[in-house]
Amino acid sequence: LVSKLPDVGTSIFSVMTQLAQESGAINLAQGFPDYDPPRPLLEALARHVLTPGHQQYAPMPGLPRLREAIAAKTARLYGYTPDPATEITVTSGATEALYAVLAAVVSPGDEVLILEPAYDLYAPAVRLQGGVPVYVPLLLPDFRPDWDRVAAALTPRTRLLMLNSPHNPTGATLTPEDLDTLAGLLRNTPTLLLSDEVYEHMVFDGQPHRSVVGQPELRERAFVLSSFGKTYHATGWKVGYCVAPPALTAELRRVHQFVTFSVSTPTQHALADVLPDTDLYDSLPGFYQQKRDLFRELLAPTRFRLLPVRGGYFQVAEFRDIAPDLDDESFARRLTQETGVAVVPISAFYHNRQDHRLVRFCFAKQDATLRAAAERLQQL
Ligand code: PMP
Ligand code: GLN
């Protein structure tokens, strides 16, 4: 069998989680919370699971009442009301939305701009469509986009640009000026935008999240993704959604209907019940900022150098002063097996090996978990 992705192994998140389990390490590698979703959401799911008539296929684009709740939330936060009938599609996590968008719009030979480091599925999913990933590095230490380099990488073949803010793994966020600059670069081009905003409710230090939905020029050419897994501490539920103009939504749905057709019905009902409760997501920036600050404080006495975190739920740290001779993959393994704290090497987010000596910690954990991990890290 000739592999379509011969150079792709098992996702780093599965690899490190397995290694954490085998080593009895505290898992700060894969990004998922070790606390449960809000009680009202769990109770809503239990209710709908027990409701006769809620067990069959949902409509292909998503339950109308969930799409209406998403439209209301989008209007409240970003000042634009997408039409639930033609501009919102519920997907099996942001993962399916990412894959379906790429399958819908990328043809063989199309170039797709990826700002690196990038979430690990982007490039393989582009390549599976015959697309050509074109990598533009984000600039250390704060991983800002270099818009001149982005401009230089744009060609008439650039079908799509992939954005992610707040950013996994670095915690960088885009500013209104970034979005305006990008709008200028894309004006009069055929390039579409995929904006991965799964960490939209985790932006710190009093800043609002700057959604592409709120930038009228970009919105016209964008697929904007979110994930209920992140918003409700329910990564195992695998529900997300895509907001996009009608013509783009129509293309996305052509694929979505043949990838999953539709998403679990009782789960969608439960989410539709709680989404109007604005407190549940309005409290997230404060909730996660406290965790970021606690984790940074706990690591302050160590020899890790902490990079800034403006959003998301990951902390990137440089380990050069601890193990100058180890590459990040070896260090991540050693930290997992010998120190008992699992992390992700930053090279996993690049298409080629990096010399940065950086690893990623997930701080979406109970304070007690963060403290226990820090106790081990303080021994280094
Ligand atoms: N994009 C990014 C940047 C992510 O971090 C994740 C989750 N790890 C996803 C997409 C996938 O989201 P979901 O779990 O909803 O499929
Ligand atoms: N998004 C999560 C992370 O970055 C992991 C998701 C997954 O395991 N596929 O760690």
pLDDT over 90 at 242, yes or no: yes
Query: What ipTM score was computed for the predicted complex, to two decimals?
Result: 0.98
Give the pLDDT confidence score for residue 141 in this predicted structure.
85
Q: Distance between the two ends of the chain, CA-based, in angstroms? A: 46
| Percent of the chain residues topping a pLDDT of 90 | 98
Q: Which ligand is nearest to the CA of 166?
A: 1
Q: What is the pLDDT of residue 8?
A: 93
Q: Which of 18, 34, 235, 349 to mutate to test the pocket of ligand 2 (most atoms within 8 A of CB)?
A: 235
Q: Which atom of ligand 1 is nearest to the CA of 13?
A: 8
Q: Is the CB of 317 under 6 A from ligand 1?
A: no
> In this predicted structure, what is the pLDDT of residue 368?
98
Average pLDDT over residues 99-111: 98
Q: Which of 95, 99, 224, 232 is the best mutation target for the ligand 1 pocket, counting ligand atoms within 8 Å of the beta carbon and taking the most? A: 95
* CATH of region 40-277, choose from 3.40.50.1100, 3.30.70.20, 3.30.420.10, 3.40.640.10: 3.40.640.10
List pLDDT tens digits, range 278-318: 999 999 999 999 999 999 999 999 999 999 999 999 999 99
Q: How far is the CA of 342 from the centre of ligand 2 (A)?
A: 14
Considering every ligand atom shown, identify the ligand nearest to the alpha carbon of residue 235 and give its number.
Answer: 1
Strands 192-196 and 158-164: parallel
What average pLDDT does range 252-274 have in this prediction?
98
Nearest atom (ligand 1) to Cα of 239: 15
Query: Is the CB of residue 168 below 6 angstroms from any atom belonging to ligand 2?
Result: yes
Q: What is the pLDDT of residue 70?
A: 99
CATH of domain 12-30+283-377: 3.90.1150.10
Q: Name the band, by pLDDT with cuts 50, 70 and 90, for residue 275.
A: very high
**What pLDDT, on a 0 to 100 scale, did the predictor assign at position 202?**
98
Is the pLDDT at 109 greater than 90? The verdict is yes
Most informative mutation of 12, 30, 34 for ligand 2 (most atoms within 8 A of CB) = 30
Which amino acid is residue 270, in one-letter code?
A
The pLDDT value recorded for residue 355 is 85
Q: What is the pLDDT of residue 95?
A: 98
38-59 pLDDT per residue, tens: 999 999 999 999 999 999 999 9
Radius of gyration of the chain (CA): 20
Nearest ligand to the C-alpha atom of residue 31: 2
pLDDT band at 190 (very low <50, low <70, confident <90, very high): very high
Q: Is residue 75 very low, low, confident or very high in pLDDT (cuts 50, 70, 90)?
A: very high
What pLDDT shows up at residue 373? 98
Domain ranges of the chain: 12-30+283-377, 40-277
For 117-134, how does the pLDDT look when each residue is reduced to its tens digit (9 = 90+)?
999 999 999 999 999 999
90 in helix, strand or coil? strand
Helical ranges in the chain per DSSP H: 12-23, 39-49, 64-78, 93-105, 122-128, 147-153, 176-186, 216-219, 228-231, 246-259, 265-274, 278-282, 284-299, 328-334, 367-377
- The CA angle 293-296-299, to the nearest 5 degrees, is 150
Q: Is 341 in the pocket of ligand 1 (CB under 6 A)?
A: no
Confidence of residue 354 (pLDDT cuts 50, 70, 90): confident
272 lines ligand 1 (CB under 6 A): no
pLDDT score recorded for residue 353? 81
Burial of 226 (0-12, 13-18, 19+ CB in 10 A): buried
Amino acid at 74: T
